[in-house]
Amino acid sequence: MALLLGDAFPDFTAETNEGTIKSFHQWIGEGNWAILFSHPHDFTPVCTTELARAAQLYAEFHKRNVKMIALSCDSVESHREWIPDICAYCKAACGDYIKECCANDQLPFPIIADESRILAKKLGMIDPVEKDRKGDPVTARCVFVIGPERTLKLSILYPATTGRNFDEILRIVDSLQLTAEKNVATPVDWKAGDCCVVSPSMSDEAAKVTFGSDMKIVKLPSGKHYLRMVPHPK
d(CA 228, CA 218) in angstroms, rounded, equals 6
Q: How many domains does the chain have?
A: 2
Q: pLDDT tens for residues 55-77? A: 999 999 999 999 999 999 999 99
If 0-12 CB within 10 Å is exposed, 13-18 middle and 19+ buried, where does residue 120 land? buried
Higher pLDDT, 131 or 191: 191
DSSP state of 8: B
The mean pLDDT of the chain is 92
The CATH code of the domain that includes 224 is 3.30.1020.10
Contact 38, 139 (CB under 8 A): yes
SS3 190: coil
Structural domain of residue 30, as residue ranges? 14-178
126 with 186, same domain: the answer is no
The CATH code of the domain that includes 149 is 3.40.30.10
> Is position 9 within any domain?
no
Residues classed as catalytic: 47
192-217 mean pLDDT: 94
145 with 210, same domain: the answer is no
Q: pLDDT tens for residues 86-115? A: 999 988 776 544 555 676 778 999 999 999
> Is position 134 within any domain?
yes
